[in-house]
Structure 1
Protein backbone atom coordinates (compact mmCIF):
# COMPACT_ATOMS: atom_id res chain seq x y z
CA UNK A 1 0.00 0.00 0.00
CA UNK A 2 2.75 2.45 0.93
CA UNK A 3 4.72 1.71 -2.25
CA UNK A 4 1.67 2.46 -4.38
CA UNK A 5 0.99 5.69 -2.52
CA UNK A 6 4.64 6.73 -2.81
CA UNK A 7 4.69 5.93 -6.53
CA UNK A 8 1.50 7.90 -7.14
CA UNK A 9 2.80 10.85 -5.13
CA UNK A 10 6.11 10.81 -7.01
CA UNK A 11 4.29 10.69 -10.35
CA UNK A 12 2.15 13.69 -9.43
CA UNK A 13 5.18 15.67 -8.28
CA UNK A 14 7.17 14.83 -11.42
CA UNK A 15 4.29 15.60 -13.75
CA UNK A 16 3.86 19.01 -12.13
CA UNK A 17 7.44 19.81 -13.19
CA UNK A 18 6.91 18.91 -16.83
CA UNK A 19 5.79 21.56 -19.29
CA UNK A 20 2.19 21.53 -20.50
CA UNK A 21 1.35 20.98 -24.16
CA UNK A 22 2.64 23.95 -26.14
CA UNK A 23 0.99 25.53 -29.19
CA UNK A 24 3.51 25.34 -32.00
CA UNK A 25 3.64 26.45 -35.61
CA UNK A 26 7.01 26.37 -37.34
CA UNK A 27 8.31 29.76 -38.44
CA UNK A 28 5.86 31.81 -36.35
CA UNK A 29 7.41 34.25 -33.89
CA UNK A 30 6.73 34.01 -30.18
CA UNK A 31 5.11 37.45 -30.35
CA UNK A 32 2.68 36.16 -33.01
CA UNK A 33 1.86 33.10 -30.87
CA UNK A 34 1.03 35.45 -27.97
CA UNK A 35 -1.13 37.63 -30.24
CA UNK A 36 -3.01 34.62 -31.60
CA UNK A 37 -3.51 33.12 -28.13
CA UNK A 38 -4.86 36.42 -26.79
CA UNK A 39 -7.23 36.76 -29.75
CA UNK A 40 -8.47 33.19 -29.22
CA UNK A 41 -8.98 33.76 -25.50
CA UNK A 42 -10.98 36.92 -26.19
CA UNK A 43 -13.06 35.08 -28.80
CA UNK A 44 -13.66 32.19 -26.38
CA UNK A 45 -14.71 34.60 -23.60
CA UNK A 46 -17.18 36.28 -25.96
CA UNK A 47 -18.61 32.94 -27.10
CA UNK A 48 -18.60 31.26 -23.67
CA UNK A 49 -18.94 33.93 -20.95
CA UNK A 50 -18.21 33.13 -17.31
CA UNK A 51 -20.96 31.33 -15.40
CA UNK A 52 -20.08 31.77 -11.73
CA UNK A 53 -21.73 29.16 -9.50
CA UNK A 54 -21.60 28.71 -5.74
CA UNK A 55 -21.43 25.34 -4.02
CA UNK A 56 -21.11 24.15 -0.46
CA UNK A 57 -18.31 21.75 0.40
CA UNK A 58 -19.39 19.85 3.55
CA UNK A 59 -17.04 19.43 6.52
CA UNK A 60 -14.78 16.40 6.76
CA UNK A 61 -14.63 14.49 10.02
CA UNK A 62 -12.42 11.69 11.25
CA UNK A 63 -12.42 9.57 14.38
CA UNK A 64 -9.66 9.45 16.95
CA UNK A 65 -9.48 6.68 19.55
CA UNK A 66 -9.45 7.90 23.14
CA UNK A 67 -8.75 5.54 26.02
CA UNK A 68 -9.37 6.19 29.74
CA UNK A 69 -7.98 3.21 31.60
CA UNK A 70 -9.93 0.15 30.41
CA UNK A 71 -12.54 2.11 28.50
CA UNK A 72 -11.92 3.26 24.91
CA UNK A 73 -14.15 5.16 22.51
CA UNK A 74 -13.82 7.06 19.23
CA UNK A 75 -14.02 10.82 19.39
CA UNK A 76 -15.11 12.67 16.27
CA UNK A 77 -12.66 15.39 15.19
CA UNK A 78 -13.04 18.03 12.52
CA UNK A 79 -10.42 17.60 9.79
CA UNK A 80 -11.64 20.30 7.41
CA UNK A 81 -14.48 22.73 8.08
CA UNK A 82 -17.32 23.16 5.62
CA UNK A 83 -17.00 26.06 3.23
CA UNK A 84 -18.66 27.82 0.35
CA UNK A 85 -16.72 28.20 -2.87
CA UNK A 86 -17.35 29.87 -6.18
CA UNK A 87 -16.29 28.40 -9.50
CA UNK A 88 -16.78 29.15 -13.17
CA UNK A 89 -18.94 26.38 -14.62
CA UNK A 90 -17.91 27.42 -18.16
CA UNK A 91 -14.12 27.43 -17.61
CA UNK A 92 -13.53 24.03 -19.24
CA UNK A 93 -15.70 24.77 -22.26
CA UNK A 94 -14.09 28.20 -22.69
CA UNK A 95 -10.60 26.60 -22.64
CA UNK A 96 -11.72 24.08 -25.28
CA UNK A 97 -13.07 26.86 -27.51
CA UNK A 98 -9.77 28.76 -27.18
CA UNK A 99 -7.79 25.60 -28.04
CA UNK A 100 -10.00 24.94 -31.09
CA UNK A 101 -9.39 28.52 -32.21
CA UNK A 102 -5.62 28.00 -32.05
CA UNK A 103 -5.91 24.73 -33.95
CA UNK A 104 -7.97 26.47 -36.64
CA UNK A 105 -5.15 29.02 -37.03
CA UNK A 106 -2.81 26.18 -37.99
CA UNK A 107 -1.12 25.56 -34.64
CA UNK A 108 -0.53 22.11 -33.25
CA UNK A 109 -0.02 21.08 -29.66
CA UNK A 110 3.33 19.50 -28.85
CA UNK A 111 4.51 17.86 -25.66
CA UNK A 112 8.23 18.26 -25.03
CA UNK A 113 10.55 17.65 -22.08
CA UNK A 114 11.85 20.56 -20.03
CA UNK A 115 15.20 21.89 -21.26
CA UNK A 116 18.17 21.03 -19.06
CA UNK A 117 20.56 23.59 -17.62
CA UNK A 118 23.17 23.27 -20.40
CA UNK A 119 20.58 24.14 -23.05
CA UNK A 120 19.20 27.00 -20.95
CA UNK A 121 22.62 28.59 -20.47
CA UNK A 122 23.29 28.58 -24.24
CA UNK A 123 19.85 29.68 -25.43
CA UNK A 124 18.02 32.98 -25.55
CA UNK A 125 14.30 32.97 -26.31
CA UNK A 126 13.36 36.21 -28.06
CA UNK A 127 9.82 37.15 -29.02
CA UNK A 128 10.87 38.29 -32.51
CA UNK A 129 12.57 35.03 -33.54
CA UNK A 130 10.61 32.43 -35.52
CA UNK A 131 9.86 29.08 -33.90
CA UNK A 132 12.56 26.55 -34.80
CA UNK A 133 11.84 23.22 -36.49
CA UNK A 134 11.20 20.43 -33.98
CA UNK A 135 13.75 17.64 -33.74
CA UNK A 136 14.63 14.88 -31.28
CA UNK A 137 16.75 17.43 -29.37
CA UNK A 138 13.88 19.93 -28.99
CA UNK A 139 12.78 20.85 -25.50
CA UNK A 140 10.62 23.42 -23.72
CA UNK A 141 11.79 26.44 -21.76
CA UNK A 142 9.71 28.63 -19.45
CA UNK A 143 9.97 32.34 -20.21
CA UNK A 144 10.03 35.13 -17.66
CA UNK A 145 6.31 35.81 -18.21
CA UNK A 146 5.44 32.16 -17.47
CA UNK A 147 4.85 30.94 -21.04
CA UNK A 148 6.52 27.85 -22.46
CA UNK A 149 8.51 28.02 -25.71
CA UNK A 150 10.04 25.42 -28.02
CA UNK A 151 13.82 25.38 -28.22
CA UNK A 152 15.88 23.30 -30.64
CA UNK A 153 19.57 23.40 -29.70
Structure 2
Protein backbone atom coordinates (compact mmCIF):
# COMPACT_ATOMS: atom_id res chain seq x y z
CA UNK A 1 0.00 0.00 0.00
CA UNK A 2 2.83 2.39 0.91
CA UNK A 3 4.54 1.53 -2.38
CA UNK A 4 1.39 2.54 -4.30
CA UNK A 5 1.30 5.90 -2.51
CA UNK A 6 4.94 6.64 -3.29
CA UNK A 7 4.41 5.76 -6.96
CA UNK A 8 1.34 8.03 -7.07
CA UNK A 9 3.25 10.87 -5.38
CA UNK A 10 6.10 10.53 -7.88
CA UNK A 11 3.61 10.59 -10.77
CA UNK A 12 1.91 13.74 -9.45
CA UNK A 13 5.31 15.40 -9.01
CA UNK A 14 6.34 14.46 -12.54
CA UNK A 15 3.10 15.79 -14.04
CA UNK A 16 3.38 18.98 -12.00
CA UNK A 17 6.89 19.71 -13.22
CA UNK A 18 5.94 18.89 -16.81
CA UNK A 19 3.24 21.58 -16.65
CA UNK A 20 5.88 24.17 -15.73
CA UNK A 21 8.50 23.37 -18.36
CA UNK A 22 9.01 24.91 -21.79
CA UNK A 23 6.46 24.39 -24.57
CA UNK A 24 7.72 22.90 -27.85
CA UNK A 25 6.31 24.91 -30.78
CA UNK A 26 6.87 25.15 -34.51
CA UNK A 27 7.99 28.59 -35.66
CA UNK A 28 8.75 30.43 -38.89
CA UNK A 29 8.96 34.19 -38.59
CA UNK A 30 6.24 35.97 -40.56
CA UNK A 31 4.19 32.82 -41.18
CA UNK A 32 0.42 33.14 -40.94
CA UNK A 33 -0.82 31.65 -37.66
CA UNK A 34 -3.72 29.96 -39.47
CA UNK A 35 -1.31 28.44 -42.01
CA UNK A 36 0.95 27.21 -39.19
CA UNK A 37 -2.00 25.53 -37.47
CA UNK A 38 -3.16 24.01 -40.75
CA UNK A 39 0.36 22.76 -41.61
CA UNK A 40 0.81 21.33 -38.12
CA UNK A 41 -2.51 19.49 -38.27
CA UNK A 42 -1.77 18.19 -41.77
CA UNK A 43 1.69 16.96 -40.80
CA UNK A 44 0.34 15.32 -37.63
CA UNK A 45 -2.39 13.55 -39.65
CA UNK A 46 0.13 12.39 -42.28
CA UNK A 47 2.51 11.14 -39.59
CA UNK A 48 -0.36 9.25 -37.95
CA UNK A 49 -1.20 7.60 -41.29
CA UNK A 50 2.44 6.65 -41.90
CA UNK A 51 3.11 5.46 -38.32
CA UNK A 52 -0.23 4.52 -36.73
CA UNK A 53 -0.65 3.96 -33.01
CA UNK A 54 0.80 0.55 -32.12
CA UNK A 55 0.22 -0.01 -28.42
CA UNK A 56 2.00 -2.85 -26.67
CA UNK A 57 1.18 -4.00 -23.17
CA UNK A 58 4.27 -4.54 -21.06
CA UNK A 59 5.02 -5.42 -17.48
CA UNK A 60 7.78 -4.38 -15.14
CA UNK A 61 9.62 -7.36 -13.62
CA UNK A 62 8.31 -8.67 -10.31
CA UNK A 63 10.09 -7.52 -7.14
CA UNK A 64 11.09 -9.84 -4.30
CA UNK A 65 10.89 -8.45 -0.77
CA UNK A 66 13.02 -10.67 1.48
CA UNK A 67 11.76 -11.90 4.82
CA UNK A 68 12.94 -10.35 8.07
CA UNK A 69 13.57 -11.34 11.62
CA UNK A 70 10.97 -10.15 14.16
CA UNK A 71 11.71 -10.25 17.87
CA UNK A 72 9.19 -9.58 20.63
CA UNK A 73 9.33 -10.41 24.34
CA UNK A 74 12.47 -12.48 24.01
CA UNK A 75 11.25 -14.75 21.23
CA UNK A 76 12.09 -14.29 17.58
CA UNK A 77 10.64 -15.57 14.38
CA UNK A 78 11.15 -14.94 10.68
CA UNK A 79 8.54 -13.44 8.42
CA UNK A 80 8.69 -15.02 4.99
CA UNK A 81 9.62 -13.01 1.92
CA UNK A 82 7.13 -12.36 -0.82
CA UNK A 83 6.93 -11.36 -4.48
CA UNK A 84 5.11 -8.26 -5.69
CA UNK A 85 3.89 -8.12 -9.27
CA UNK A 86 5.51 -5.59 -11.57
CA UNK A 87 3.20 -2.88 -12.82
CA UNK A 88 1.54 -3.23 -16.20
CA UNK A 89 1.86 -0.34 -18.64
CA UNK A 90 1.21 0.44 -22.29
CA UNK A 91 3.76 1.75 -24.79
CA UNK A 92 3.03 3.19 -28.24
CA UNK A 93 6.07 1.81 -30.07
CA UNK A 94 5.45 4.07 -33.10
CA UNK A 95 5.33 7.34 -31.13
CA UNK A 96 9.05 8.25 -31.61
CA UNK A 97 8.81 7.55 -35.35
CA UNK A 98 5.55 9.54 -35.60
CA UNK A 99 7.22 12.52 -33.87
CA UNK A 100 10.18 12.36 -36.26
CA UNK A 101 7.86 12.18 -39.27
CA UNK A 102 5.86 15.20 -38.07
CA UNK A 103 9.03 17.19 -37.39
CA UNK A 104 10.42 16.30 -40.82
CA UNK A 105 7.16 17.30 -42.53
CA UNK A 106 7.13 20.65 -40.74
CA UNK A 107 10.81 21.21 -41.64
CA UNK A 108 10.00 20.71 -45.34
CA UNK A 109 7.41 23.49 -44.95
CA UNK A 110 10.08 25.80 -43.49
CA UNK A 111 9.28 25.54 -39.76
CA UNK A 112 11.67 24.70 -37.00
CA UNK A 113 10.74 23.29 -33.62
CA UNK A 114 11.76 25.49 -30.70
CA UNK A 115 11.05 25.47 -26.97
CA UNK A 116 9.49 28.62 -25.54
CA UNK A 117 8.88 29.31 -21.89
CA UNK A 118 5.35 28.74 -20.71
CA UNK A 119 3.21 31.89 -20.39
CA UNK A 120 2.61 32.75 -16.75
CA UNK A 121 -0.94 34.03 -17.21
CA UNK A 122 -3.24 32.33 -19.72
CA UNK A 123 -4.84 34.96 -21.92
CA UNK A 124 -6.46 33.81 -25.18
CA UNK A 125 -6.83 37.39 -26.43
CA UNK A 126 -3.10 38.15 -26.23
CA UNK A 127 -1.99 36.13 -29.26
CA UNK A 128 0.77 37.86 -31.24
CA UNK A 129 -1.47 38.49 -34.26
CA UNK A 130 -2.36 36.95 -37.61
CA UNK A 131 1.35 36.40 -38.35
CA UNK A 132 4.17 35.05 -36.19
CA UNK A 133 6.14 38.02 -34.89
CA UNK A 134 9.89 38.03 -34.24
CA UNK A 135 10.77 36.31 -30.98
CA UNK A 136 12.19 38.17 -28.00
CA UNK A 137 13.21 37.31 -24.44
CA UNK A 138 9.62 38.06 -23.39
CA UNK A 139 8.10 35.58 -25.89
CA UNK A 140 6.15 32.69 -24.42
CA UNK A 141 3.74 29.98 -25.48
CA UNK A 142 0.57 28.52 -24.06
CA UNK A 143 -1.48 25.44 -24.87
CA UNK A 144 -5.10 26.20 -25.64
CA UNK A 145 -8.08 24.06 -24.62
CA UNK A 146 -8.52 22.89 -28.23
CA UNK A 147 -4.95 21.49 -28.30
CA UNK A 148 -3.45 24.30 -30.38
CA UNK A 149 -0.58 26.48 -29.23
CA UNK A 150 -0.48 30.28 -29.03
CA UNK A 151 2.78 32.22 -29.18
CA UNK A 152 2.81 35.61 -27.48
CA UNK A 153 5.44 38.31 -27.67
CA UNK A 154 4.94 39.29 -24.02
CA UNK A 155 4.88 37.11 -20.82
In the alignment, structure 1 residue 67 sits paired with structure 2 residue 75: no
- Give the TM-score taking structure 2 as reference length: 0.69
Q: Which residue of 1 aligns with 2:98?
A: 94
Output the aligned Cα RMSD: 3.1
State the SS of the aligned residue for 1:100: helix
1:136 aligned onto 2:137: yes
Structure 1's consecutive aligned runs of 4 or more residues displaced over 6 angstroms after TM superposition are none
C-alpha separation in 2, matches of 1:113 and 1:68: 56
1:74 Cα offset (Å)? 4.8
Shift of 1:42: 2.1
Aligned-pair distance for 1:63? 3.9
Counterparts of 1:97 and 1:55, CA distance in 2: 25
Mark the runs of 5 or more structure 2 residues left unpaired by the alignment.
Answer: 1-9
Aligned residues: 140
Matched, 1:125 2:127: yes
Paired residue for 1:76, among 66, 81, 86?
81
Distance 2:120 2:57 in 1: 43
- Unpaired segments ≥5 residues, structure 1: 1-8
In structure 2, distance between residues paired with 1:18 and 1:111: 9
Quick one: which of 11, 26, 36 aligns to 2:39? Answer: 36
Q: Match for residue 5 of structure 2?
A: none
| Greater mean deviation of Cα atoms: 99-108 or 30-39 | 30-39
1:112 maps to: 116
Change (3 A) 1:20 1:73: farther
Q: Contact 1:19/1:148 (CA < 8 Å) preserved in 2? A: no
